[in-house]
């Protein structure tokens, strides 16, 4: 019996796509506290993390009337290394699907994380170096900001409200926090208009470093405060030597909580 290549591809393509990027069940965003601070420490979060079994990454979503907040937690040493040294990209989609509407790349990985542990480093030394790298990480990239196809390199605390931070806690877990204003995802802040309860589509991926734009300094025309003047970018074309292994690549959807009036 002849078994053509096209027929084999038709049978295996869906399975390959599932392996490449799988989806999590729809979750619920929790109401954010009034004093939510993006600092890499999970003090404001209730303990209701969801687990992506394939990568071992735990995640959680919260929101208020102005922002959507994302928390990630990694306890596995190889996973922590992948997040720090390969970099992490998070895409958000206000339609509840998984388009690349707006993204944030943080940590940046590559040449942005030049200090790496020795192969024979102890667990304590490895965590100390990761914490050192994170403490010195003050830059991120905004992807598709206002439709701009060029990534915008900026500080991790922007005047437009996007904030990112990561740190290692006392238990040795790596905690990541991200805040994105809903006005960047919804036109005229109409996220909850007419009793609407929208969903946010999330895509997580490591190892997707993008080149730094040659026009570093102002971002989209008219948004001169997105990137502070006088900052200098760093190339990230260096091959990642640490954090090797299966990349993180999964999708999730969160039903936003209706803010209390």
pLDDT (tens digit per residue) in 184-195: 998 765 556 666
Angstrom distance (rounded) from CA 16 to CA 14:
5
Residue 117 pLDDT greater than 60, yes or no? yes
**Choice between 173 and 8, residue whose per-residue pLDDT is larger:** 173
Predicted local confidence at residue 69, as pLDDT: 96
User: What are 223-246's pLDDT values in tens digits?
Assistant: 333 333 233 333 332 323 345 566
Predicted local confidence at residue 72, as pLDDT: 97
Q: What is the pTM of this model?
A: 0.77
Mean pLDDT score, 5-23: 44
Distance of CA 146 to the CA centre of its chain: 18
User: What are 179-220's pLDDT values in tens digits?
Assistant: 999 999 987 655 566 666 788 999 999 976 543 332 222 233
Task: Transcribe the chain into DSSP letters.
Answer: ----HHHHHHHHHHHHHHHHSEEEEEEEPEEPPTT---SS--TT--S--EEETTTTEEEEEEE-SSEEEEEEEE-SHHHHHHHHHT-EEEEEETTSS---SEEEE-S--GGG------TT--HHHHHHHHHHHHHT--EEEEESGGG-SS-EEEESB-TTS-EEEEEE-TTS-EEEEEEEEGGGTSGGG-TTGGG---EEEEEEEES---PPPTTTTT-STT-TTSS-TT-------SPP-SS-SSPPEEEEEEEPPPPP-
Predicted local confidence at residue 193, as pLDDT: 60
User: What are 61-76's pLDDT values in tens digits?
Assistant: 999 989 999 999 999 9
Looking at the structure, give the CATH architecture of the domain made up of residues 25-255: Sandwich (2.60)
């Amino acid at each position: 019996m002849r078994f053509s290549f096209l027929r084999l591809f038709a049978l295996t393509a869906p399975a390959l796509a599932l392996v490449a990027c799988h989806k999590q069940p729809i979750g619920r965003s929790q109401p954010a506290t009034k004093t939510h601070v993006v600092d890499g420490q999970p003090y404001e979060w209730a303990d209701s993390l969801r687990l992506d079994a394939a990568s071992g990454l735990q995640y959680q979503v919260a929101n208020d009337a102005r922002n959507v907040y994302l928390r990630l937690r990694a306890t596995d040493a190889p996973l922590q290394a992948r997040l720090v040294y390969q970099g992490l990209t998070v895409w958000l989609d206000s339609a509840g699907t998984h388009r690349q509407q707006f993204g944030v790349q943080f940590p940046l990985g590559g040449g942005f994380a030049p200090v790496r542990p020795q192969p024979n480093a102890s667990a304590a030394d490895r965590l100390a170096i990761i914490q050192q790298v994170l403490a010195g990480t003050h830059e991120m990239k905004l992807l598709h900001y206002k439709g701009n196809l060029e990534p915008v390199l900026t500080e991790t605390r922007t005047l437009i409200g996007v904030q990112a931070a990561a740190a290692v806690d006392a238990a040795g877990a790596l905690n990541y926090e991200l805040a994105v204003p809903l006005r960047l995802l919804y036109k005229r802040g109409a996220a909850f208009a007419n009793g609407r309860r929208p969903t946010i589509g999330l895509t997580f991926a490591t190892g997707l470093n993008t080149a730094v734009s040659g026009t570093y300094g102002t971002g989209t025309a008219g948004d001169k405060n997105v990137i502070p003047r006088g900052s200098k970018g760093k190339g990230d074309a260096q091959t990642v030597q640490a954090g090797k292994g299966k990349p993180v690549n999964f999708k999730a959807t969160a039903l936003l909580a209706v803010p209390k009036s």
